[in-house]
Amino acid sequence: MRQLVVIGNGMVGHRLVEAVLSRDTAEPWHVTVLGEEPRPAYDRVALSSYFDGAGEFDLRLPDLARHGNVELLLGEAATALDRAARTVETSTGRTLAYDALVLATGSAPFVPPVPGRDLPGCHVYRTIEDLEAITATARAAAARDDTAGVVVGGGLLGLEAANALRLLGLQPHVVEMAPWLMPRQVDEGGGAVLGRLVAETGVTCHTAAGLAGIEPDPRGGLRVLLGEEGPGQERIDAGVVVFSVGVRPRDELARAAGLEIGPRGGVAVDSACRTSDPRIYAVGECASTQGTVYGLVAPGNAMAEVAAENLAGGAAEFTGADTSTKLKLLGVDVASFGDAQGETEGALEVVLNDAPGGRYAKLVVSDDASTLLGGVLVGDASAYAGLRPLVGRALPGDPLGLIAPERGGAAAGAGVAALPDDAQVCSCNAVTKGTVTDAIAQGSTDIPALKACTRAGTSCGSCVPLLKNLLADSGIEQSKALCEHFAHSRAELVEIVTATGVATFSELIARHGTGRGCDICKPAVASILASLGGGHILEGEQAALQDTNDHFLANLQRNGTYSVVPRIPGGEITPDKLIVIGEVAREFGLYTKITGAQRIDLLGARVEQLPAVWARLVEAGFESGHAYGKALRTVKSCVGSTWCRYGVQDSVGMAIRLELRYRGLRSPHKLKSAVSGCARECAEARGKDFGVIATEHGWNLYVGGNGGFTPRHAELLAADLDDETLIRYIDRFLMFYIRTADRLQRTAAWIEQLEGGLDHLRAVVVEDSLGIAAELEEAMARHVSGYADEWRGVLEDPEKLARFVSFANAPEAPDPTISFEIERDQPVPAGPVALGMPARRGASEPAAAGTA
Amino acid sequence: MSTPTLPVSSASLWVAACGRDRLIRERGVAVLLPDAAQAALFRTHGDELYAVGNIDPFSGAAVMSRGIVGDRAGEPTVASPMLKQVFSLRTGRCLDDPDVALATYAVRVRAGVVEVCSRPGEAGV
């Protein structure tokens, strides 16, 4: 096998290895990766989320070492290159031979040569080790009541670092030499608005400020000196100083090996990403292409793809990269794209500067005002998605109209219609408008389908509004009508029911719909009424709305029998109760199987047997497990700190508490949950709609996970919560979902289509940005206090009980079409049962034949 | 499995199902007919009575009586609870697959008791 050595295991090095492995070549590469850091590759862009509760686990990139042709050497640096012998020396004394070599050494933070820069308490901001050191210093400072932290450098990374200090409980100061923040991305006007918005977040900004030096102060902290020595010199007493003034390419190995170096540092490469030695490539922040060193991950990834293609024998070229960016720093939207500084000859500027409103927008256009060249957006970057693809193209209208606030939405629409097919709509994944419109033509008619088909919108998500416009432009009516009987979406029906107090389906359809309903709107309305506290689901007219599962409080199986799943909260069950389940199954001749949700499924019960089965179960203390409903199913758990050597919290206790709290809660789709007692995650909580994972300090809450057809990992919503806060956040999350999701939309898809996605959800749940948290909590409190076991309710009501008969004219006669045979000592449906493929209209759900 | 016996004489064309009051609006019940046949009997919101074959032609399971009753463009319907195909209650025809249909049975009410004609497709007397 050919030997490929990759020096550097950062994001771009990782991407390169992925790209090499994904290409089929006649002669595959054996890849050896040298990583100086002691841990596998992680998402450095998301580094500040480390202070927001994310662990190393959350940041980690996919494991490369699982691939048989990859060897990952961690904590081992390359120390020398011998180009003649084609070998690399490592810090452990190893010598690695190569046929091809890739330098992905990245860059190192630049620390200006000021006195005191090496004092304890001074840090840089690049690796997880740096973050750990900053955390330790900040904690020690807090213990001394040293509450200030200084970030040197007011660029993109500096503001990230300031946010990190804020999350550590310090009061951040940012020191920037230029007259405004983020001078590389935004112009003076944008910088002024940005400065004010940043100051509002509690960060003190010192612009046009030169760092003179740092001194130790007698209390054990640091004194940061700004400006010339003398009476005007400003001093900040701080517990921690973070340098974030820029980076320098790590080109020292290349220099020592005699490779050509770029004019401003960095290993010089050609358009194939090849260095002056044709066996050696360089990619990412250590490479210099046409004199430019890119400090962003997107160009690095593009270079990695180019190098991988050329290593595979192809002929790809890197011709420069789009450095447009859209960010949220300290909660402030900032975007810059194209020629943001107006450096093009004759360029004209159109500026909207709304200082009191905290909003700045500038478009740079060509000298004849016909072509968009670039722009800057601060405070509100919603127009970014529509404007960025227009760079270099004819303006679709009056430039001021494109950034005027009341027409921000229209801008995206006007822009996208005017775009040619080869224009990129998703720059993260290089997806063109043509690719998206082709996918739409071939049947991807909603956002999730487009994401799955084209990958557009799957990274930063800023182009999702554009995708919506493309769908609308393609004439695909994104009808929100539930079905032919209601022109409303499920969320709108929730609002109607909440606002008007309509309590029955008949009243709702008479006033707001047409006809008599169907198998789509009836269960949806039944679920809404139940979620809002409608009493027993089989009471009065509600009985006619339920599908067969809810009508018989059991799951219909393919031969017309039902399955029974008693609730076993948290999966904890006494031997006595286990015995009862066994006895019931034996007495009624039921097939038993353990479900994936830590419960027991009893299958093969005929309708007329259900009351007798449940009479036994209720008597033994069991309740409905709602396996038949669009409702909370189960809260799975591991044994947690009660038994496990590694457990840090009582996961079983929490799982039972959650399951008992949310049992019976009707929702747009089924809801699953789990609680793990430590980060090993044995309960698989991240595969659930809401998952809870114990930490040393409390609980991390993850939302939006599921298994099934499109598996998804839940994402971190909030970290290190105490018991009460955890439950409050889950209350809010679930009620917000119940009120606003579409019919049969699970939490993952719901979050995906929420305007603003997970960030918006977090704002609503954690920060109460909509001011509805109290209302959501009250709604959940009503659910909890109104809960009653549905099966007990049936057994105690002769009228409901009377419906559980096989035939109206022969209530006890078994259905003659049902028969069983024995397989592996248990009864299963006899004979072949032909289930035809359904000829369905529109989107449909699979029949809920499964278990809990 | 023993063949169930019916509380009707085999000579009668009409099978008594249940008292009219026992039928819930927009729900169905299964009715056992002679020779182990079965019908699904429904009462609509407008109190019309319909009976169709109880065996879902797509799955072979006797479940049609447990489907959701509604309408499609005004046509009274029942949806199979198994895979959700929709059938006209008037004609028995599957509205999602024109090649498939359920048998229809005549229904009448005598002295408050709903009766189903035991022979499909006959209007009865």
Residues 6+ positions from A735 with CB-CB distance below 8 Å:
A776, A777, A779, A780
User: Residues of A numbered 784-843 whose beta carbons fall under 8 angstroms of chain B's beta carbons: which are they?
Assistant: 802-803, 805-810, 813-819, 833-836, 838-841
- Inter-chain CB proximity B82 and A551 less than 8 Å: no
Looking at the partner chain, which of B17, B77, B81 has a beta carbon nearest the beta carbon of A809? B17
Please count the CA atoms within 13 angstroms of the CA of B95 that sit on its side-chain side. 20
Q: Is residue A277 part of a domain?
A: yes
* Confidence tier at A842 by pLDDT (50, 70, 90): very low
Cross-strand pairs, A164:
none
Walk across the sheet containing B104-105 and list its strands: B27-32, B38-43, B49-53, B104-105
Residue A380, chain B, CB below 8 Å: the answer is: no
Q: Residue A540: its chain B contacts at CB < 8 A?
A: none
Looking at the partner chain, which of A521, A549, A809 has a beta carbon nearest the beta carbon of B18? A809
Task: Note the pLDDT of residue A389.
Answer: 82
**What rounded mean pLDDT belongs to chain A?**
88
For residue B1, pLDDT beyond 50? no
Domain CATH code at residue A195: 3.50.50.60
Task: Note the pLDDT of residue A478.
Answer: 66
ipTM: 0.91
Q: Residue B68: its chain A contacts at CB < 8 A?
A: 518-519, 522-523, 545, 547
Report the number of distinct structural domains present in chain A. 5
* C-alpha–C-alpha distance, residues A40 and A72, integer Å: 8
- Inter-chain CB proximity B25 and A544 less than 8 Å: yes
Q: Is residue A711 part of a domain?
A: no
Q: Identify whether residues A96 and A38 lie together within a single domain.
A: yes
Looking at the partner chain, which of B17, B24, B68 has a beta carbon nearest the beta carbon of A547? B68
Q: Identify whether residues A137 and A226 lie together within a single domain.
A: yes
Task: Single out the residue in A196, A227, A245 at which a domain terminates.
Answer: A245
Tokens of A369: 């005002």
More confident residue, B104 or A156: B104
Task: Single out the residue in A196, A219, A245 at which a domain terminates.
Answer: A245
Task: Single out the residue in A534, A552, A570 at which a domain terminates.
Answer: A552
Backbone angles phi, psi at A159, to 5 degrees: -70, -35
pLDDT digits (tens, 9 = 90+) for B17-41: 999 988 999 999 999 999 889 999 9
* Confidence tier at A477 by pLDDT (50, 70, 90): low
Q: Residue A514: its chain B contacts at CB < 8 A?
A: none
Q: Do A765 and A718 meet the contact criterion of CB atoms below 8 Å apart?
A: yes
* C-alpha–C-alpha distance, residues A676 and A341, integer Å: 50
Q: Identify whether residues A401 and A465 lie together within a single domain.
A: no
Distance from A538 to chain B by nearest Cα, in Å? 11
Task: Note the pLDDT of residue A843.
Answer: 38
- Inter-chain CB proximity A560 and B62 less than 8 Å: yes
More confident residue, A840 or A497: A497
Task: Note the pLDDT of residue A405.
Answer: 61
Q: Identify whether residues A302 and A362 lie together within a single domain.
A: no
- Inter-chain CB proximity A810 and B32 less than 8 Å: yes
Q: Is residue A682 part of a domain?
A: no
Q: Identify whether residues A168 and A268 lie together within a single domain.
A: no
Task: Note the pLDDT of residue A387.
Answer: 85
Q: Identify whether residues A543 and A395 lie together within a single domain.
A: no
Q: Identify whether residues A45 and A159 lie together within a single domain.
A: no
Distance from A501 to chain B by nearest Cα, in Å? 22
Backbone angles phi, psi at A795, to 5 degrees: -65, -30
Q: Identify whether residues A153 and A229 lie together within a single domain.
A: yes
Q: Is residue A126 part of a domain?
A: yes
Per-residue b/e over A745-760, b at no fewer than 16 CB within 10 Å? bbbbbbbbbbeeebee
Task: Note the pLDDT of residue B123.
Answer: 55
Distance from B32 to chain A by nearest Cα, in Å? 6
Q: Identify whether residues A439 and A542 lie together within a single domain.
A: no
Q: Residue A554: its chain B contacts at CB < 8 A?
A: none
Distance from A840 to chain B by nearest Cα, in Å? 6
Domain span including residue A276: 2-108+248-311
- Inter-chain CB proximity A810 and B1 less than 8 Å: no
Superfamily of domain B24-117: Rieske [2Fe-2S] iron-sulphur domain (2.102.10.10)
Weakest-pLDDT range from A337-351, A566-580, A787-801, B94-108: A337-351
SS (H, E, C) A374-404: EEEEECCCCCHHHHHHHCCCECCCCHHHHHC
Start-end of H helices in A620-756: 651-662, 723-740, 747-753
Please count the CA atoms within 13 angstroms of the CA of A211 that sit on its side-chain side. 27
Q: Identify whether residues A363 and A449 lie together within a single domain.
A: no
For residue A599, pLDDT beyond 90? yes
Start-end of H helices in A222-318: 252-256, 297-311
Q: Residue A484: its chain B contacts at CB < 8 A?
A: 72-73
According to DSSP, the β-strands at A122-124 and A240-243 are parallel
Q: Residue A523: its chain B contacts at CB < 8 A?
A: 68
Distance from A14 to chain B by nearest Cα, in Å? 46
Q: Residue B63: its chain A contacts at CB < 8 A?
A: 548, 556, 560
Q: Residue B24: its chain A contacts at CB < 8 A?
A: 543-544, 803
* Closest of A385, A384, A389 to residue A465, by C-alpha: A385
Looking at the partner chain, which of A519, A813, A834 has a beta carbon nearest the beta carbon of B60? A834
Chain A residue with CA closest to B40: the answer is A807
Please count the CA atoms within 13 angstroms of the CA of A655 that sit on its side-chain side. 34
Residue A544, chain B, CB below 8 Å: the answer is: yes
